[in-house]
Structure formats: C-alpha cells, structure tokens
Amino acid sequence: MSKDKELVLSSSEAKGGLVVASGADSLLNRIRPEWQARGLINRTRRLLPIDPSSACQRLLNATIYDLRHKIVVAGVDLAKEAAARFKLPSISLTEDITENYSTARIIDLSYRMGILSRTEWRKIKRCYEIRGDLEHEDDEYEADIDDIIYIFKNCVEFVLSKDPVEIIRVADIKELVDAPKAAVLTSEILEEYEHAPNSRQREIGEHLFNTALDSKKPDIVRQNSVELLRQFKSITKTQVLVDIGELIHERYKRKRLELVVAKVAYAAGVFPYLKQKKVLDFFEWMYERFQKSGYHWKQFDSHGEPLDDFEDVGGFMHCPKQPREKLVLWMTLCYLGEPGGYGDWGRSRKVFNSDVAAPRIKGLFKKHGSIIVADLEKAKKRKLVKAAVNFKPIARRLETLEDLVSDE
C-alpha cells in the first residue's frame, strides 16, 4: 500500500474516531424502528468510524428516500397542487415523486406540502449542500467534524426519527360531522389537521363553513361543523383564515353579514380577516337591535337574545370603536336600572333592573374590560348616566361595572 493511501486512511480513521466520540453514532439510535433494520442505515453505522464522509452521504440518501415516501403517504393530489402553486416540476403520478424528482426538488416539495417547516427545510438544504462538498473532497476541501455532526443531527431529528404524517382528508371530516351525534375530535385528528398543508386546511375549512350555513342540513350536522371550526381555530394557518375571509367577502360583497355568518366566522377565527367596512356595518346593525329592544328594565324579556347573539360573535373583541361606544352606553344604562322600592314585588328592591340582562352584561364587561375601559369612562359623562347615579344604590352598581373593567 502506498504511503499516500496509508495517510488518507489514517486521517479518515482518526476523523471517524472523533465523530464517534462526539456522539454522532448515538444519534442513529433515534431513527425510527422501521429504518433501523434497513441496509442503508446499517452501512452508515459501519462506515462512520472509518469513513464518516461516506456515512454522511448515505444518511442523506436515506433522508431523501424517506421524504419521497412521506410525500406519497401525504397524497399525490396534494403534491400535485403544491407543485403547481409553487412552480415546481409538474406531478401526475407517484413515479414522478419516487423516480423523477431531483433531491433538491424533493426537499422543496416537502416544505411546500408542510412536511418540513421553514427552519427544517433550510437546514436539510444545507445538509444537501454539505453532502455535495463531501462528494468532491480534495486537497482544497475536507469536511470537518462540525459538517458531519450537522448532517447527522438534522437528518435524524427532522426526518428519520419522525413517522410519516397521514394528511387528514375532507372525507374524514365529513364523516365526523354527518354522524347523528356530537362530533369529538381525537388528538390524532387534531395533529393531522395541524400538520396538513394550507390547501387541505382550506378545503376542510370551506367544507365546514358551507355545511354550517346550509339550512337544509340537520341541526346536529350544522352544530358539529361550527364546533369543529372552533376547535381547529388555534391550529389553522393564518393564510387559510385569510382565504376563508376572502371567500366570505366575495359571497357577501354587496350585502350585510348575516348573523349566522358572523357567528360561524367568529367560531372559525376569521373575524380579524374580514373587510373592516363589513364588520362595521354588522356591528352597527347589532346596535340597532339593542336600540329596538330598549334598555328599560320592563323590557327585560327582549334583552336575552341580542346579548346572547352579541356574545356568540365575540362580544367586544372585534367590535369597531363607533358601535362599541354606543353599545357600552346602552349596556351601562341597562345594568344601572332605576330607583325601586315600590309595588307589591318591588318593596324589597332598591333598584329595578333587568334580571335577564344584568348577568350577561357583567360577564361581557369582565371579559372585555381592557377593551372597553375608556368607553365606560366616556359613558359615565353622559347626562343619563350622571342623572342615574345621583341615587346611591345605582351609583354602587356603576362602581361594580368599574371594578369589572379595572386592570386591577
């Protein structure tokens, strides 16, 4: 054996020893069981102590193979849509993914389908670049320990240790909502939905939204749709919420939002993404309902419905300033009531007020105190409120409202 070849082997083995000592070998133990027994991983393990550069190349090969498999599991339909949307090579058959797509494109497609996060995508791309350098090691470039550890850590952590994620289908959700009982989401369904790409989340959201508004559907089916939208809200991607907001805008472009649409939009978390003019018009209409019902305590039987509907669209959470100020004034006057102490049923009550409205108003003020604190201060300066609080028992009721909205 020539001295040059001996030196190369000696250098490679020395590097291999350092890599093993660094813990790279133990990272292989985190690879999921179905991959542990495969020849590619076994060869990687054998090569690591003697030729770590080749071991890295094989581990990256396993990673790309695994990503191809995960894309197929997620669905050719999703891959096709993602490829078209992000101008990647077209996909029509499984073979396009398993055989025709280059390594770099597989990494990009995995990101666009949601299999890799943006951070994971960037790091796996860097692994691929490092592998390219390893394939052309020469006197000018030789992979160092950091490069090798980088590939092992990221390939195992982001790909080879993770099971393929079954992408939830619209049919799965349809089956759940159409059942003649309350829909219950399992942690598995929630996880599948959370990791689903934008296109699939959008399909599911639109289906649930349309079903919730379909008056021909049974009440249980519509209720299930709203409940699923509510449970999916916190894990729905922002762009999907924006898209559904656009759908609502297009459908009701020249009309005021109907109450049922607003309720579903709130349940789905779409309200912040609706056109502000449309939101303003809706809450102005809500205020007109309160005005028609009147805030006098004798009109108590008309107070429950508008207050409950107001709560169902988020209360003051998305209410614009103009109608919000008027609504706070209405609720303040309704809660304060008028001097009592007379009549067969009222002698023991110092204040007559709406028993229907009072607990609902207290709940709204407590929940949205930070939003309406300035509006309450403004309401206190109105003549009707000033006149009412001249009666001490009513003044104490105003103090209750102030306490509810207080930051303390």
Q: What is the mean pLDDT of residues 199-223?
A: 93
Q: How many CA atoms lie within 13 A of 192 on its CB side?
A: 18
pLDDT digits (tens, 9 = 90+) for 326-364: 999 999 999 999 998 776 666 678 899 999 999 999 999
Paired strand residues for 352: 338
Mean pLDDT of the chain: 87
Distance between CA atoms of residues 226 and 159, nearest Å: 35
pLDDT of 251 over the 90 cut: no
**Other CB atoms within 10 A of residue 348 CB:** 7
Provide the 3-class DSSP secondary structure of residue 339.
strand
Closest by CA to 376, choosing from 359, 389, 390, is 389
pLDDT of residue 6: 45
Contacts of 326 (CB under 8 A, 6+ apart): 287
Q: In this predicted model, which residue has the larger pLDDT, 39 or 244? A: 244
pLDDT of 275 over the 80 cut: yes
pLDDT digits (tens, 9 = 90+) for 293-327: 999 999 999 999 999 999 999 999 999 999 999 99
Q: What is the mean pLDDT of residues 191-216?
A: 89
pLDDT of 407 over the 80 cut: no
pLDDT of 235 over the 80 cut: yes
pLDDT of residue 168: 83
pLDDT of 163 over the 80 cut: yes
pLDDT of residue 285: 97
Q: Any idea what DSSP says for residue 351? A: E
Q: In this predicted model, which residue has the larger pLDDT, 136 or 102? A: 102
Task: Note whether 97 and 76 are within 8 A (CB).
Answer: yes
Distance between CA atoms of residues 309 and 35, nearest Å: 54
Paired strand residues for 351: 339
pLDDT of 164 over the 90 cut: no
Task: Note whether 64 and 106 are within 8 A (CB).
Answer: yes
Q: Any idea what DSSP says for residue 272? A: G
pLDDT of residue 249: 87
Q: What is the mean pLDDT of residues 383-391?
A: 94
